[in-house]
């Protein structure tokens, strides 16, 4: 029996194997390409230059150094030097390079070490490429700016600037906040324990902060009073509003007097009619009959009143911690005008005259923002009317999530030099 059974079993196993390999359906195996992480083209390029192909050295522009001097220092050919002025025309003012600004020199990796590119960093964003690969070619470009949305907070112990340092925040944020809350908060009279929270974009080039972008919402507690600010567009103008939809700003009058004409505009290079020299005139002259009333452009406090050779009888008004206005060449002052006196928008502060350096009766009107002169004719006049009924629902829905974020942030005690922000 064994002689019969064992061969039979072996025969059946052999038959099963044959059937398995002949009847089993074929399975197509998918070939998967090995995944190799590719280096993005932009990572290989900087300033539009393939950086891995060159040796790169970084320098700084020295005092009184010119682009021509830099060309000579780095052995740029005389033919390129001769082409410099012609190629730069209409592209870049080669006289505008600044001492201390960095520039990079790209040279070949061989023993000759020939310069192929020179890149000058004109600002944190703008740069200029001098291309020597063939004939000289000059191009300009900008670094990619990356906005990072943050929410920051701080409690003031001494000053707004000090709070920025204590909480390791960008100091430019202080200027922006003082502008937004200019009509509500006295930034020259901040109290200890005043606080703020703000949602904003901080701008970066590579990993370096270059400034503050859009401020979306903010909250400020000043002397126990709490103020909100929400950015919203109405009538095609971006402005800031409180949680009820009231504008945070007050408008200035368009002009400080009637029945006048502009006889001289804002300029940094005007021929003075008396001195006969070119000098800045950071104001606007309104020609008007002597004795024409001059009014304050906005509410404020008289910070200066007096006389000098150039301005004659003059007045300066501090409207808030950001804006100030000045009025020169008065013949006489308005009633009650004295240093420290409060004035209302539209109140008569003086009368047109020709005191000081003046060839005829006129008003010399000045405007300052954060102490810097600005053109009075270009001052933006944000809307002062509240959010319109047609926009009310949209405004409410837009500010709701911002208010929740501001209210949910609990101010913590100050810890010097810590990061006091959250990145969204």
For residue 325 the two structure tokens come to: 């206005």
CATH of residue 334's domain is: 2.70.70.10
What are the backbone angles phi and psi of residue 255, rounded to the nearest 5°?
-150, 150
In a domain, 384, yes or no: no
Provide the pLDDT for residue 203: 95
Q: In which domain, by residue range, is 408 found?
A: 146-249+404-423
Q: How far is the first Cα of the chain from the last one, in angstroms, to the nearest whole number? A: 84
Instruction: Among 142, 175, 198, identify where a domain stops.
Output: 142
Distance of CA 171 to the CA centre of its chain: 12
C-alpha–C-alpha distance, residues 94 and 72, integer Å: 15
In a domain, 68, yes or no: yes
DSSP codes of every residue in 195-262 = EEEEEEEEEEETTEEEEEEEEEEEEEEETTEEEEEEEEEETTEEEEE-TTS-BS--PPPS-S-SS-EE
Provide the pLDDT for residue 321: 84
Distance of CA 423 to the CA centre of its chain: 19
Provide the pLDDT for residue 10: 58
How many domains does the chain fold into?
3
Residues 157 and 210 in one domain: yes
In a domain, 67, yes or no: yes
In a domain, 10, yes or no: no
How many residues does the structure list for the chain? Answer: 424
pTM comes to 0.65
In a domain, 76, yes or no: yes
Name every residue whose Cβ is closer than 8 Å to that of residue 131 and which is 6 or more positions away in sequence: 116, 117, 137, 138, 139
Provide the pLDDT for residue 37: 40
Residues 104 and 192 in one domain: no
- CA nearest to 285, candidates 256, 313, 309: 256
Residue-by-residue pLDDT tens, the chain, 424 positions:
555 555 565 555 555 554 444 444 433 333 333 343 444 444 578 899 998 999 999 999 999 999 999 999 999 988 898 899 999 999 999 999 999 999 999 999 999 899 999 999 999 999 999 999 988 999 999 999 999 999 999 999 888 888 898 899 998 998 899 889 887 887 767 888 899 999 999 999 988 899 999 999 999 998 889 999 999 999 888 999 999 999 988 778 877 886 556 756 544 544 445 445 444 566 888 888 899 999 999 889 999 999 998 899 999 999 988 899 999 999 999 999 999 999 988 899 999 999 998 888 999 989 998 888 988 887 766 667 899 999 999 999 999 999 999 998 766 554 544 455 665 5
Taking residue 419's Cβ as centre, other Cβ atoms within 10 Å add up to 12
C-alpha–C-alpha distance, residues 343 and 334, integer Å: 11
Name every residue whose Cβ is closer than 8 Å to that of residue 393 and which is 6 or more positions away in sequence: none
What are the backbone angles phi and psi of residue 224, rounded to the nearest 5°?
85, -10
Provide the pLDDT for residue 271: 45
Residues 161 and 235 in one domain: yes
- CA nearest to 198, candidates 212, 183, 184: 212
Residues 71 and 136 in one domain: yes
Measured CA distances, 68 to 76, 95, 282, 399 (Å): 9, 10, 34, 54
DSSP symbol at 187: T
What are the backbone angles phi and psi of residue 326, rounded to the nearest 5°?
-130, 150
Measured CA distances, 58 to 120, 121, 219 (Å): 10, 11, 43
In a domain, 90, yes or no: yes
What sign results for the dihedral spanned by CA atoms 170, 249, 284, 188? negative
**CB-facing half-sphere around the CA of 187: CA atoms within 13 A:** 23
C-alpha–C-alpha distance, residues 243 and 89, integer Å: 52
CATH of residue 118's domain is: 3.10.450.350
């Amino acid at each position: 029996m064994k002689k019969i059974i064992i061969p039979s079993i072996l025969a059946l196993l052999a038959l099963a194997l044959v059937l398995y390999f002949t009847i089993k359906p074929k399975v197509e195996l998918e070939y998967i390409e090995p995944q190799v992480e590719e280096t993005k083209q932009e990572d290989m390029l900087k300033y539009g230059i393939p950086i891995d192909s060159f040796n790169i050295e970084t320098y700084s522009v020295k005092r009184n150094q010119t682009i021509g001097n830099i060309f000579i220092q780095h052995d740029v050919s005389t033919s390129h030097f001769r082409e410099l002025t012609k190629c730069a025309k209409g592209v870049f003012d080669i006289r505008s390079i600044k001492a201390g600004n960095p520039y990079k020199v790209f040279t070949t990796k061989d023993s000759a070490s020939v310069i192929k590119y020179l890149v000058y960093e004109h600002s944190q964003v703008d740069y200029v490429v001098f291309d020597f690969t063939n004939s000289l070619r000059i191009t300009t470009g900008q670094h990619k700016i990356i906005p990072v949305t943050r929410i920051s907070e701080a409690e003031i112990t001494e000053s707004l600037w000090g709070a920025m340092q204590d909480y390791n925040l960008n100091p430019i944020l202080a200027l922006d906040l003082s502008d937004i809350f200019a009509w509500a908060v006295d930034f020259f009279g901040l109290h200890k324990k005043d606080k703020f929270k703000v949602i904003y974009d901080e701008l970066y080039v590579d990993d370096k902060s270059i400034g503050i972008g859009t401020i979306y919402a903010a909250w400020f507690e000043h002397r126990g009073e709490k103020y909100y600010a929400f950015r919203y567009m109405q009538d095609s103008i971006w402005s800031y509003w409180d949680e009820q939809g009231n504008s945070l700003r007050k408008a200035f009058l368009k002009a400080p007097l009637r029945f006048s004409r502009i006889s001289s505009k804002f300029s940094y290079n005007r021929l003075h009619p008396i001195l006969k020299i070119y000098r800045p005139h950071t104001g606007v002259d309104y020609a008007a009959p002597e004795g024409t009333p001059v009014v304050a452009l906005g509410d404020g406090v008289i910070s200066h009143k007096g006389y000098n050779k150039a301005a004659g009888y003059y007045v300066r008004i501090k409207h808030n911690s950001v804006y100030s206005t000045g009025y020169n060449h008065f013949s006489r002052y308005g009633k009650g005008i004295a240093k420290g006196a409060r004035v209302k928008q539209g109140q008569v502060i003086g009368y047109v005259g020709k005191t000081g350096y003046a060839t005829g009766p006129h008003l010399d009107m000045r405007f300052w923002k954060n102490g810097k002169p600005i053109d009075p004719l270009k001052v933006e006049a944000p809307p002062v009317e509240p959010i319109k009924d047609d926009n009310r629902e949209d405004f409410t829905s837009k500010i709701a999530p911002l208010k929740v974020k501001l209210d949910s942030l609990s101010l913590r005690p100050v810890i010097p030099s810590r990061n006091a922000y959250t990145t969204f």
